[in-house]
Structure 1
Amino acid sequence: MITLETLEKWLLVPTETERLEFKEAKQQFDSTKLLKYCVALANEGGGYIVLGVTDKRPCQVVGSLAWGTAEALNAKSLCRGSCAGRNQDVPQTGFTRTYC
């Protein structure tokens, strides 16, 4: 489970990496793009996509309503088999992280 402490550490990382991607996704995020990011991360051995955080420095938590909840994202067919059950809302932050 990702904690607030983990998020705070990630926000201090100087740049995104092959295994860590931030996406603002305030109101929406294209599900095809999300799938492509999941595939890219899987090809690198796994990683995290954090929705609701700006990808420009300094990173800011802005929250995301792209899918409402992690459960709503898990229900999308794009995540079946590749990311199913691996999306998590992080309490007190307003963001959802996806890992593959």
Structure 2
Amino acid sequence: MSGNTSQWNRRSILKAGAAGLAAFGPGLQLFGASASAAAKLVVQYDWLMSNGQIGDVAAVANGYFKEAGLEVEFSPGGPNAATVPPVVSGAAQLGQFSESPQLYA
């Protein structure tokens, strides 16, 4: 064991995702995104929306993503939801899923 006891939990993954969105927003200006047209970003979950996503929902409701030039849509999953195929096909730009599928890969 390397001595590193930190583990990834849902909160740290959501923080990393939010940091990625924050870093991604300004980069849109480099690729021709204008202030008048918000870039659409679909986030695919493999679980149903619940209190764990309240920060994401509040950010949309308060216009934080819109201020960054993003139009964010959340696509909830559910039991047996497939998160990876929508991201691979381009229907969703981000996907958040539990570690269970990774354990079986």
Task: Provide TM-score, normalisation by structure 2.
Answer: 0.33
Task: Provide TM-score, normalisation by structure 1.
Answer: 0.34
If each structure's helix is expressed as a fraction of its own residues, which one has the higher value? 2
| Structure with greater Cα Rg | 2
